[in-house]
Structure formats: C-alpha cells, structure tokens
Amino acid sequence: MTNQRALARIDLAALRANVAALRAKAPGAAFMAVVKADAYGHGMVPCARAALEAGAGWLGVATPEEALAVRAAGIGPEQARVLCWLWTPGGPWRECVEADVDVTVSAQWALAEAVAAARAAGRPARVQLKIDAGLGRNGAQPAQWPALTAAARAAEKAGLIQVTGVWAHFSCADEPGHPSIARELAVFRWAVEQAADAGLEPEVRHIANSPGTLTLPESHFDLVRPGVAMYGISPVPQVGGPADFGLRPVMTLAARLASVKSVPGGHGVSYGHHYVTPGPTTLALIPVGYGDGVPRHASGAGPVLVAGKWRTVAGRVAMDQFVVDLGGDAAAAGDEALLFGPGDRGEPTAEDWARACGTIAYEIVTRIGPRVPRVYDGCA
C-alpha cells in the first residue's frame, strides 16, 4: 500500500470477471449492472464503465440524481441505457427524459409527472412500469395494475411515453425455496400478461436481482439486474461463498498502523474501557472508525489482519480509530492492516465483518465513506 492512512482498493478486473460469470448464468438475458449508492461503495462511474466493458448494456440506479450523474460523467445513451426507480413528486423528471434515462412508474401520480415531463421536453418519456409482486415497498398493487397499464397505453398512443419495461423486485430470493418466490413470480407473470392485454409491448421484462440471477433461472426473463454479486459478494452466503459462484470480491479495505506501543496489564482501551489488557502487551492503533464507515457494532468483534494474524477490535470503534491487541507480537507504525478483501492474503472478508456485526456484507462495503480514497486497479 502507499503512504496513505487508509484506502479501498477496487479491483476492476475482478468486477469485469464477475460480470462475465453472471452473464454466463443468464446467457439469454440482457444485463443491468446495479450501480446505485456509489456502486455499493465501490465508486459509481469507474464501476459502471468496467461493467459496460464486460458486456452490460444497462445501468440501474435508485435515485434520479444518480442517473443524471451517470450521464454527466459522459456515459451517453449510445453506451448504456439507464433505469432509475426511486422517485418522489416534483423530482427531476424532465431532466431525466432529456438525458435519455428510463424512468420507473409505480403509480398514477408518477405517470402524470412523466407525461408532463415529456410535454415539457418535447419528446416521449421512456417509462418502465413496476408491479409490487409481494415485496410491499414500491410498485403498483395488483389491484391498481390494470388501471395503470391502461393509462400508460393511452399516453403511449398519444405519443407522450414509450413503455420500455415491466418489472418487479423479489422479497426473499436470498432464501432459496422460500414460498414467496413462486408466489411473486406468478404475480409478475400475471402482470406481464395483463400489460400485453392492455396493448403494451415492453422491450424488457425483469425481476432477477443477484440471488435470482445465480439461483433462479426461471426468473431471468429478458434482463437480469444484479448488484452485490457483481462486487464479488455472495447474495446467499448460507448456500455458498463468492468462489462457489465463480465470483471474486472487488473491494479491499486497508489502513496503516498509526501507533504501536507497549502497555502494562490492566490498561483500559478506548471509550468506556470495554477492553482491559489481560497482561503486558502491545496495542496497535488502526486509524479508521465509524467516520469512515467502520461499523461501531464491530466494537469487540470485528476481525483485522495485522502482523500475520487475525486480531479482534479491542473495545469500542471510535469515530476515527480503533485498537487491536497484538498480544506482544511485533509491528511498527506504518505497517499495513487489512480489514477485509478477497481473502487471498489471509485477510477477513466483508462477509466475516457482516457476521461479526450482525449485518449483511452489502452494508459493510456500501457504508465505507468518502474519507477513504478509492484506488482503482485493473483499469482496461
């Protein structure tokens, strides 16, 4: 590592290989690389470009601001279709129509906003209709679906919108065999048929996230929409790790020791003294904390590779730093500490951190904040 305090290495060659592995699982489907939330903390624009190089044709984001940032970075409509799905009234509908972004509509108010944006922009809005197949978040309820598809078809006939997609999102695809999976697929199939009966001819029908892409071929339809698996994290850790699916973790989080010192036994460590040295020992200070996205829930639990061994966070994670007990092993200020990575050098993985913190690996990588510089390896 360089002389930086901390950094997140992003292995774009691994990301491209992960996209290839996922595409091979769904060979008949188009590929939407989900790059919302700064590509799950990995950096939206470099990851979007790497996914496109590996054959993705679509980029998926949550907010319109993310969609506009993709376009502002110079990723034009000839390089990628962009779908965004989390709207509020008064959002930048017109800007998105003008930027050739496909917008998601789950309700009549959103259809009205898309139509108004199309009128203002002087061009049809590309609209994807979303059904709530059972997740209970966004998406039209099945009872509202026939009215929504009818209104969308009327707007399409008037030349104001083009319905490019019909889609849904699973609730429990990460629990193979969960009864909701078959139920939600049935609702989705009904919604697709109903849209066709309404006269709509969407270009893509899609429901598969990472677990769907990897474990449910019947969910692939015209397009798959993986996020976490593209970053080399297993969406079903209870079934298999990344290597079992031909994936490799993309982010490695490293820091350099800010202090190594000998202390006597009985020395309290960090706020609240939740750790007290059991005897004379060496303490190493890792200069990252919850201000960098290291969860405070990792206090007394998070694993770190320092001086050739896994150590456990001693006491509380603070805003900028935490301590590990080296048990008398030798180390020096400036030495590398590996919080997580692919595991090749014996370091923990994001999944290990997730288990230690009672969360999911999605959150571990996504929460690494802007204070940690990203360094991109494997640029094409």
Ligand X SMILES: Cc1ncc(COP(=O)(O)O)c(C=O)c1O
Among 125, 214, 228, 360, binds ligand X (CB under 6 A): 228
Name which of 209 and 252 has its Cβ closer to ligand X. Answer: 209
Among 64, 92, 235, 342, binds ligand X (CB under 6 A): 235
In Å, the largest CA–CA distance within the chain is: 79
Which residue among 157, 261, 271, 309 is the active-site one?
271
Estimate to the nearest angstrom the gap between the alpha carbon of 315 and the chain centroid: 30
Which residue among 25, 36, 40, 275 is the active-site one?
36
User: Which residues inside 72-91 make contact with ligand X, applying CB under 6 A?
Assistant: 85
In angstroms, the CA 207 to CA 271 distance is 46
Token pair for 321: 């730093």
CB of 144 to ligand X, least distance (A): 19
Report the relative pairing of strands 281-286 and 259-263 from DSSP bridges: antiparallel
Report the relative pairing of strands 204-208 and 223-224 from DSSP bridges: parallel
Check if 271 is active-site: yes
Q: Is the dihedral of CA 342, 343, 348, 353 positive or negative?
A: positive
Closest CA to 127 of 30, 158, 187, 210: 158
CB of 269 to ligand X, least distance (A): 36
Residue type, 53: E
Give the x/- contact pattern for ligand X in 333-362, rule: CB under 6 A.
------------------------------
Q: Any contact of residue 41 with ligand X (CB under 6 A)?
A: no
Going from the C-alpha of 234 to that of each of 250, 315, 350, 363, 378, the distances in angstroms are 12, 29, 10, 13, 22
For residues 285 and 259, the answer to whether their CB atoms sit within 8 Å is yes
Name which of 165 and 342 has its Cβ closer to ligand X. Answer: 165
Residues forming beta bridges with residue 130, ordered by sequence position: 167
DSSP string, 57-81: -EEEESSHHHHHHHHHTT--TTT-E
Name which of 18 and 299 has its Cβ closer to ligand X. Answer: 18
In total, the chain counts a number of residues equal to 380
Among 16, 225, 311, 316, binds ligand X (CB under 6 A): 225
Q: Any contact of residue 68 with ligand X (CB under 6 A)?
A: no
Name which of 242 and 303 has its Cβ closer to ligand X. Answer: 242
Which residue number is nearest to ligand X in terms of Cβ? 227
Name which of 153 and 169 has its Cβ closer to ligand X. Answer: 169
Among 169, 220, 256, 316, binds ligand X (CB under 6 A): 169
Residues forming beta bridges with residue 372, ordered by sequence position: none
User: Which residues inside 44-63 make contact with ligand X, applying CB under 6 A?
Assistant: 60
Among 106, 209, 219, 281, binds ligand X (CB under 6 A): 209
For residues 264 and 250, the answer to whether their CB atoms sit within 8 Å is no
Q: CB atoms < 10 A from the CB of 1, how many? A: 16
CB of 200 to ligand X, least distance (A): 20
In angstroms, the CA 64 to CA 82 distance is 10
Q: Any contact of residue 227 with ligand X (CB under 6 A)?
A: yes
Q: What is the 3-state secondary structure (H, E, C) of 191-223?
A: HHHHHHHCCCCCCEEEEECHHHHHHCHHHCCCE
Among 15, 19, 26, 34, binds ligand X (CB under 6 A): 34
Segment lying near ligand X (by CB under 6 A), choices 108-116, 196-204, 226-234, 304-312: 226-234
Q: Where along the sequence are the contacts to ligand X (CB under 6 A)?
A: 34, 60, 85, 169, 209-210, 225-229, 235
Active site residues: 36, 271
